[in-house]
């Protein structure tokens, strides 16, 4: 059998969206647009933050790193998915599956970055006079580096355990990428230890991040309620509104995907849920932080004036 070595499956067949053969061109066009939009928007956002000195603040430093993360996120799945649309047989190696899994688990890094951004908002709203001293450039770099390093090692631990699994049976994956849940179903190894490790790491990162975010926003809300002027409250809400929306989308979509049943009639719905998590959310993050942010709009207007003048 193709894709088998020494009795172990080394390649899998992806079914992708083969249940919609007449919509291949339409689906390709839609997903190409969905992929190009978050990449171009995030690249533009990173460039704008780098070029405009008014945006050289802790909040936009964290935002630029979230944009880099979103580009990595969407580029892990989408290019392969697009290239498979016009292939009769869509093969993917086990190593490619593990690489996709590793980069998809950079969501651990995003948990940390969202928590770091929440702490930055706490410093800006609750201690405005000391926020510059609290969120020093050195601390910001350490927080971002710590987010990337801890997320990387969290993913690496899971990857090392995943590489110990063996596959000797069916090799058909009813998905558009090497979906972890279906890989576990196809494995002929005992996957209990891997599931325990994955669950423990996910819970540790998720709960720690949510706890930091909730405590930070508890203090933020208490401070906002003490502000007497409507303008001051509005400014504080604008500072936090985009971040809260991004947090809700990230954790909400993650819970929806991983708590969603993954068998029988739900497989097509699971694909759509995965599209939401891996492609749509990175696009929405950039839009949320850009369109709802006055400082980003002002920076865009300044650069428009420079270009056309």
Summarize pLDDT for 21-66 with one digit per residue, the tens: 888 899 899 989 988 988 998 998 899 999 988 889 998 999 999 9
User: For residues 147 and 116, is the Cβ–Cβ distance under 8 A?
Assistant: yes
- 132 vs 292, higher pLDDT: 132
**108-116: average pLDDT:** 93
Domains of the chain: 18-308 (1.20.1070.10)
What would the DSSP string read from start to end of 262-299?
-SGGGHHHHHHHHHIIIIIHHHHHHHHHHHT-HHHHHH
Percent of the chain scored above 90 by pLDDT? Answer: 29
Query: Does 219 have pLDDT greater than 90?
Result: yes
Residue 202 has a pLDDT of: 87
Confidence category of residue 12, pLDDT binned at 50, 70, 90: very high
Nearest one of 125, 77, 94, 89 to 277, comparing CA atoms: 77
Q: What pLDDT is recorded for position 208?
A: 94
Find the range with the poorest average confidence among 116-120, 283-287, 288-292, 295-299: 288-292
Which one, of 113, 120, 117, 154, lies nearest residue 136 by Cα? Answer: 120
What interhelical angle do 107-126 and 58-84 show, nearest 10? Answer: 160
Grouping H, G, I as helix, E, B as strand and the rest as coil, residue 171 is: coil
Closest by CA position to 178, among listed 24, 11, 307: 11
Of 193-207, 221-235, 280-294, which one has max mean pLDDT? Answer: 193-207
Mean pLDDT computed over 225-254: 80
If you average pLDDT over residues 110-116, what whole number do you get? 93
What's the average model confidence in pLDDT over 261-284? 68
Tell me which of 135 and 5 has the higher pLDDT: 135
Burial of 97 (0-12, 13-18, 19+ CB in 10 A): buried
Asked whether residue 117 carries a pLDDT value surpassing 90, the answer given is yes
What pLDDT score was predicted for residue 123? 92
Average pLDDT over residues 135-157: 94
Q: What is the pLDDT of residue 28?
A: 92
Q: What is the pTM of this model?
A: 0.88
Alpha-carbon distance of 134 to 131, in angstroms, equals 5
For the ranges 110-124, 125-139, 200-214, 287-301, which has the lowest average pLDDT?
A: 287-301
Is residue 264 very low, low, confident or very high in pLDDT (cuts 50, 70, 90)? Answer: very low
pLDDT tens digits for 60-107?
Answer: 999 999 999 989 888 888 898 899 988 888 899 988 998 888 877 788
pLDDT greater at residue 307 or residue 207: 207
User: Which residues, in sequence order, are CB contacts of 158 under 8 Å at separation 6+?
Assistant: 101, 105, 194, 197, 198, 201
């Amino acid at each position: 059998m193709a894709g088998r070595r020494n009795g172990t499956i080394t390649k899998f067949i992806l079914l992708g969206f083969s249940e919609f053969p007449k919509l291949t061109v339409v689906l390709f066009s839609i997903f190409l647009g969905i992929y190009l939009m978050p990449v171009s928007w995030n690249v533009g956002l990173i460039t704008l933050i780098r070029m405009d000195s008014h945006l050289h603040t802790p909040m936009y430093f964290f935002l630029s790193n979230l944009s880099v993360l979103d580009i990595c996120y969407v580029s892990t799945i989408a290019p392969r998915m697009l290239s498979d649309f016009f292939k009769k047989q869509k093969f993917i190696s086990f190593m490619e599956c593990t690489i996709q899994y590793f980069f998809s688990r950079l969501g651990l890094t995003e948990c940390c970055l969202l928590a770091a951004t929440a702490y930055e908002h706490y410093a800006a709203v609750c201690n405005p006079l000391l926020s510059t001293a609290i969120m020093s450039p050195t601390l910001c770099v350490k927080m971002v580096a710590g987010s990337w390093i801890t997320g990387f090692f969290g993913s690496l631990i899971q990857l090392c355990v995943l590489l110990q699994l063996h596959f000797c049976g069916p090799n058909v994956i009813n998905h558009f990428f090497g979906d972890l849940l279906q890989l576990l179903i196809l494995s002929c190894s005992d996957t209990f230890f891997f599931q325990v490790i994955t669950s423990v790491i996910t819970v540790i990162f998720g709960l720690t991040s949510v706890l930091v975010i909730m405590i930070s926003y508890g203090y933020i809300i208490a401070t906002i309620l003490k502000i007497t002027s409507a303008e001051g409250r509005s400014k504080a809400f604008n500072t936090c509104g985009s971040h809260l929306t991004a947090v809700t989308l990230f954790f909400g979509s993650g819970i929806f995907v991983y708590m969603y049943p993954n068998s029988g009639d739900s497989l097509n719905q699971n694909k759509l849920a995965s599209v939401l998590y891996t492609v749509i959310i990175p696009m929405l993050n950039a839009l949320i932080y850009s369109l709802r942010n006055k400082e980003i709009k002002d920076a865009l207007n300044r650069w428009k004036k420079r270009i056309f003048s």
